[in-house]
Amino acid sequence: MEEQVYDRFSFIKIPVDDFLVDQFSADSFCPEEARKEIEKRYAEILEITDKFNRQSVSYQLNKKEVLHSWLKYKEGFSANLVNLLLDEMGIKPGDWVMDPFMGSGTTALVCQMRGINSIGYDVLPISSISIKTKAAIQRYDIDEIRALIKEVEALRVPHDYSGCTPYITITRDAYPEKNEKFLHYIAAWRDKSGYSEDVKELLTLCIINSLERCSYTAKAGQYLGWDCRSKKVIKANRIRTEKGQKLLPAKQVRQVILDSKETILEELHHVLADLETIQNNKNGNQSAEIEFIPDSVLYKLPEMEENFLTGVITSPPYCNRYDYTRTYALELVYLGLGEQEVKDMRQSLLSCTVESHSKIDELKRYYENIGQKARFDYIYSTIKANTAFEEILFALEKRKKNGDLNNSGVIRMVEGYFTELAFIYAELYRVCKSGAMVAFVNDNVRYGGEVIPVDFLSSSFAEQFGFKVPKIYTLKQQKGNSSQQMAKYGRVALRKSITIWMKE
């Protein structure tokens, strides 16, 4: 390829070839022609960019942002990224933008500040509380929040208090005793208090945002990491000692397990300071609507009217086995979910873990029930006709037979992930107006030595459903290869991309 970009800081040339894959199947063990074909097709429009970086496609830039920092949602992207994409898409006040996977609500909240209407979905109750509280910024009565802070400061848990915050198996004994009592006490106190519903929700958000730091757990990749001072690890080590097994590493997730009251108060002060800034500056256009649908996009989007949206800015869960219901177990349980409800929620998320079951029969029944069987058949047969997807599934099966996949649930996950996403791509095409632009942030992945070019594969589905693909941005910083895959199969380019599609 001719094109080259220069690294701004080191002035080292970065050849575009470094971002392309020439061997999708390690040791050419499986067919790779279909993947090579899409790699060649989209290489032409691949743009290695400085405009977006690791910080802006992740939560990092939001950490210090007014409003967006109210919930530490590590899976979120930054307000900065949404602003850049809105500018690039030419979206104006009064337009409608969708985020099918709202998370903490970054797209919707940036849109609101710019007078742009937005609509979106998420199944996690954390998402619901994040969006509701942030969307209400102009409604809060600052004096009411000051009064709340005073009362929380004065809260004392009675010595004989027997309440304890609820647990499920995977969160059992997550907090020191003092915190588990206080967290229960403050929830009961909040429910009985005379504060407005808005302020009660705001307090809940502040509690939710404090839980991890007041616990023996830390969100660590695909699940919760546990501190060696927790009862769970102490008990496990006792059993290991009895059995003569090696002890779990003496890992501390943080130096100090924070006091829950102090942490919640810190959060309340932070939110109060932001609200004072926002309300004084009249920073925020409340004439824009935010429509949040607390449900699965798979079973709601097909009912939406067509030719309605001007833009889509989103980031779905990645195809990386990351389990939101495990990393956010503390928060889900605090918000009232029980053992079975957490398991059910795991299944309602887009298939992205090895535990995900196929949703295709349920999806078919759903389309039949809404009188859209023909649409289901069209979308499903189009997905089946994608040769790169077919090749990937064939390759993974072959890898499984060869013992190269450490979990055979990976195949079901990959098949479910792209099938479900492709249904969403097809529905987005239907609900977009002519001229609408769509941006998806996603990461490429590799399993058992097989590269899955998520950006190009998704774009090929989008094209099958009618979108044009004008540009695919890829970040200069690629995704790291897992040490296991590196050792066994060597290094490959794993792009972090933003695919841009357009409905003509």
Ligand X SMILES: C[S@@+](CC[C@H](N)C(=O)[O-])C[C@H]1O[C@@H](n2cnc3c(N)ncnc32)[C@H](O)[C@@H]1O
Residue 73 engages ligand X in binding (rule: CB under 6 A): yes
Strand 496-502 relative to strand 468-475, pairing = antiparallel
Q: One-letter amino acid identity for 456? A: F
Stretch of residues binding ligand X (CB under 6 A), selected from 73-81, 135-143, 145-153, 201-209: 73-81
Which residue, 268 or 297, has its beta carbon nearer to ligand X? 297
CA angle 148, 149, 151 (to 5 degrees): 65
Nearest residue to ligand X on Cβ basis: 103
**C-beta of residue 40 within 8 angstroms of C-beta of residue 495:** no
The answer to whether residue 124 forms part of the interface with ligand X (CB under 6 A) is yes
- Using CB under 6 A, pick the residue from 42, 324, 418, 467 that binds ligand X: 324
User: Which one, 66 or 350, has the nearer CB to ligand X?
Assistant: 350
SS3 label, residue 327: helix
The SS3 of residue 259 is coil
The yes or no reply on residue 112 touching ligand X (CB under 6 A) is: no
Q: Is 110 a binder of ligand X (CB under 6 A)?
A: no
- The reply on whether position 349 binds ligand X by CB under 6 A is yes
| Helix/strand/coil for 479 | coil
310 in Cβ contact with 149 (< 8 Å): no
Q: In this structure, how many other beta carbons lie within 10 angstroms of the beta carbon of residue 55? A: 16
Place of tokens 């710019």: 114
Cα–Cα distance measured from residue 456 to residue 464, given in angstroms and rounded to the nearest whole number: 12
Least separation, in Å, of the C-beta of 328 and ligand X?
8
Q: Least separation, in Å, of the C-beta of 348 and ligand X?
A: 6
Footprint of ligand X on 260-319 (CB under 6 A): 296-298, 315-317
104/386 with CB nearer ligand X: 104
The DSSP-derived string for 96-129 is: EEEESS-TTTHHHHHHHHTT-EEEEE---HHHHH
Quote the CA–CA distance of 107 and 315 in Å, as a whole number.
Answer: 10
Range in contact with ligand X (rule: CB under 6 A) among 15-23, 120-128, 250-258, 479-487: 120-128
The full DSSP string for 390-409 is HHHHHHHHHHHHTT--S-TH
Closest contact distance (angstroms) between CB of 291 and ligand X is 14
Stretch 47-66: interaction string toward ligand X, x if CB under 6 A? --------------------
3-state SS of 13-75? Answer: EEEHHHHCCCCCEHHHCCCCHHHHHHHHHHHCCEEEECCCCCCCCCCHHHHHCCCHHHCCCCC
Shortest Å, Cβ 351 to ligand X? 9
User: Counting contacts by CB under 6 A, is residue 427 touching ligand X?
Assistant: no
Based on the shown chain and the rule CB under 6 A, indicate whether residue 122 belongs to the binding site for ligand X: yes
Q: How many chain residues bind ligand X (CB under 6 A)?
A: 22
The least CB distance from residue 289 to ligand X, in Å, is: 19
Q: Where are the alpha helices (DSSP H) in 328-475?
A: 329-334, 339-348, 360-369, 373-384, 387-401, 409-431, 454-464
**Rounded to the nearest whole angstrom, what is the least distance from the CB of residue 73 to ligand X in the complex?**
5
Residue 468 CB neighbour total at 10 angstroms? 12
Task: Select 99 or 450, whichever has its Cβ closest to ligand X.
Answer: 99
H-helix or E-strand spanning residue 222: none
Smallest gap from residue 408 Cβ to ligand X (A): 22
Decide whether 121 or 226 has the Cβ nearer to ligand X: 121
Quick check: 493 and 478 in contact, CB under 8 A? Answer: yes
125 to 154: interface string for ligand X, x by CB under 6 A: --x---------------------------
Best CA proximity match to 179, nearest among 254, 266, 263, 269: 263
Q: How far is the CB of 56 from ligand X (least distance, A)?
A: 11
Of 46 and 79, nearer to ligand X (C-beta) is 79
CB closer to ligand X out of 96 and 121? 121
Name the segment binding ligand X (CB under 6 A); options: 123-131, 170-178, 189-197, 215-223.
123-131
Which CB sits closer to ligand X, 25 or 204? Answer: 204
Contacting residues toward ligand X, per CB under 6 A: 73, 75-77, 101, 103-104, 106, 121-124, 127, 296-298, 315-317, 324, 349-350
